[in-house]
Structure 1
Amino acid sequence: MPTTLGSLRRLLLTPSLAEVTFAERGFPATPSPATRRLEAIPQAVICGFEWGIDTRDQWELERRLELVEPEQVGFAFEGATMAFTVLDAMCGGRGTRTRDLLNGPGRPHVPLAYIGIGFAMARLPRKLWRRVLPEITGSPFHPTMSWLAVDGYGFDRAYFDTKRWVHQQRETKPYPWQDCPAYFPRAFDQGVGRALWFIHGARPLEVAAAVDRFEPRRRADLWSGVGLASTFAGGCPADELATLPDLAGQHRAQLALGMVFAVKARDYAGFVPAHTEAAASALGGVGVAEAVVVADETAVHDGGSDTEPPYERWRARIASRFQAGVPRLPAGAFEKRSR
């Protein structure tokens, strides 16, 4: 059951379901069954946040999340992680809700949970950010892919303050996430790219035009965000999806890079929807199993620099596989994965 304090927090911090619809946000997307499916994604995040901020314990939250259909449950975990991150921050960073969630039932959804941490960051002062990332044990993503929290922060800012971050194309200030402040704006832009997929209702021509309005130096990161969103969230007919690589032009490898991370996250969570399979083929010329192998074979978890943390080295290695077209996988890759 909800608590009185939890209900007050929910009322103060949570947008209504109507507030995240494209019409309410003023997005130029045309209403359609596809846009309604896309709108259901931020609504699932809100439901997860409300449950997380309201429930008395993790057991109750787990029972609620079990009711969500497989395609949407990761987004509900995003919202729940956002709520727990806010609650932990209110305890001076000493709370353990987020850690316990991601070391427990949230483990299959860690990539999306990072994004939920980013949503919380958008509502917390920067001085509290240094303690928002919990220690996660036994995850192949931690802490390398915790940059998805910064991605989530960028998505949130672009979605809820579109004028500033999309129309005016403002740039965020660096922050020493993982001791790499110079990379922070790039990860932020990757989230902005994801948001463009939603803002323009998964219409490739409009999304490409929006990317092209940004400075050339920012477009590679934006296109990788488009690749991740279009693969993970869907919302676009297969024939239109197939136009994205040509629209991305010189950045088609970054588009494929985003696709690979999305496929890996879906596969790790144990549910790969049909639209993700279609995107793997359309954006990279590979199947789901091949995309997962690419992600695994290129993984980097150490080394790097202020401008190129391990996460970016991993991304660059994936992109390089697609620079000359469909990647050639190492001999025995599928046998290794099956073991």
Structure 2
Amino acid sequence: MASALRSLRRKILVPDVGETKVEKRGFWVKNAASTEILETVGAYFLAGYAHAVESRTVAEAEDRLEEVPARFRGFAYEGAGMGFAILDCMTFGDLRRVNTFLQGRGHHHNYMVYVGIGWAMARLPRFLWPKADLLDPLLLWLVHDGYGFHQAYFHTDRYVHQQVREPRFSWPPGHEEYAAHALDQGIGRALWFVAGTSAERAVTLIERFPESRHADLYSGIGLAATYAGGADEAELRWLRERAGAHRGPLAQGSVFAAEARIRAGLLFPHTESAVGVLCGTTAEQAAEVSRATRPTATAQDKPPAYEAWRRRIAETFVFHGGVPS
């Protein structure tokens, strides 16, 4: 009986993998290899989501997540973060499963899990959203990244082609102005998918947005290009040069991606290569900058400590001189 209920829960809650196909989404097609990367990312994200919603325990889901190919395992953990958050919020569980996950193997994928919570919130009515004070006050802004990514990925015409902003995002209360910036980081990350991993196409999309939004969008592009991959070094060098005054935010996103992959033990050549081009250093050195500049945060910080963290990293790489010797 319990197995049948879990199976039914999966059928109700888990989207069809066809929803992640590039053709279905109407995204730019650069080449077959890039399309395969993006569709594989989507498939393993949904696999992780399914593992979370149909497993009997968090530990069982973790065992299944560890079977995902290493390059795509972080995306599966992101999907699981969404799945556990959906279950917690729908049962008023105060993020019980999410916190258990973050105390277990999800600890090494905490950035991805927080992004997954944002995906969950994009699918839930606001009265079911979790309380912000249940989350780390520094990392909770990654929730906005996940929400922004979801909206740009599934509502591309509105959030990308029409450049519409989320109306007064009042979570957490009192930080509405900064929330718009954090959402744009997620929208920027989604642009890499919408552009089919084409740097030229991604920049074309960014330049249609108001200039005031470009820094956050470039940050998201840098993160996606480094974590997901899909562009060679020549294309990334073009992206770095075209970013101009926004090279710092572009590098900052790349640094976050390097830290996320290294923390999880999932460093791959495409990430090392992207960091070398966008930051002028190694992935390990970039990740160390992230760790060294990571601030202590409180819920009352204005602007949020998360933004101070991003700025410190961006300033380190703004002239593309690599890390200080």
Q: 1:191 to 1:95 in 2, by over 3 A?
A: closer
- Deviation of residue 56 (structure 1)? 1.4
- Deviation of residue 303 (structure 1)? 6.5
Letter in 2 for 1:122: A
- Do 2:49 and 2:80's aligned partners in 1 also have CA atoms closer than 8 Å? yes
Cα RMSD, aligned residues only:
2.0
* Worse-matched range after superposition: 295-304 or 80-89: 295-304
Q: Which runs of 4+ in 1 moved over 4 A?
A: 132-135, 303-307
- The two structures have a TM-score, normalised by structure 2, of 0.94
Residue correspondences, number: 324
Q: Which residue of 2 aligns with 1:161?
A: 155
* SS of structure 2 residue aligned to 1:202: coil
Q: Which residue of 2 aligns with 1:86?
A: 86
Q: Which residue of 2 aligns with 1:46?
A: 46
Q: Which residue of 2 aligns with 1:115?
A: 115
1:307-322 equivalence runs, <5 A: 308-322=303-317
Structure 2 regions of 5+ residues with no counterpart? none
- Do 1:119 and 1:156's aligned partners in 2 also have CA atoms closer than 8 Å? yes
- From 268, 276, 297, the equivalent of 1:273 is 268
1:26-65 equivalence runs, <5 A: 26-65=26-65
1:1-339 equivalence runs, <5 A: 3-94=3-94, 96-131=96-131, 134=134, 142-172=136-166, 173-177=168-172, 179-302=174-297, 308-329=303-324
- Deviation of residue 177 (structure 1)? 2.3
- Deviation of residue 178 (structure 1)? 7.4
Q: Deviations over 1:274-313 (max 9, x none)?
A: 0000011110111112202211222222369765200000
Q: Deviations over 1:128-148 (max 9, x none)?
A: 22337755xxxxxx4412211
> Whole-Å Cα distance in 2 between the matches of residues 224 and 78 of structure 1?
19
Structure 1 regions of 5+ residues with no counterpart? 136-141, 331-339
- Do 1:48 and 1:75's aligned partners in 2 also have CA atoms closer than 8 Å? yes
- Do 1:93 and 1:128's aligned partners in 2 also have CA atoms closer than 8 Å? no
Letter in 1 for 2:21: T
Q: 1:2 to 1:268 in 2, by over 3 A?
A: farther
- Deviation of residue 258 (structure 1)? 0.3
- Do 1:53 and 1:87's aligned partners in 2 also have CA atoms closer than 8 Å? yes
- Do 2:247 and 2:319's aligned partners in 1 also have CA atoms closer than 8 Å? no
> Whole-Å Cα distance in 2 between the matches of residues 48 and 134 of structure 1?
23
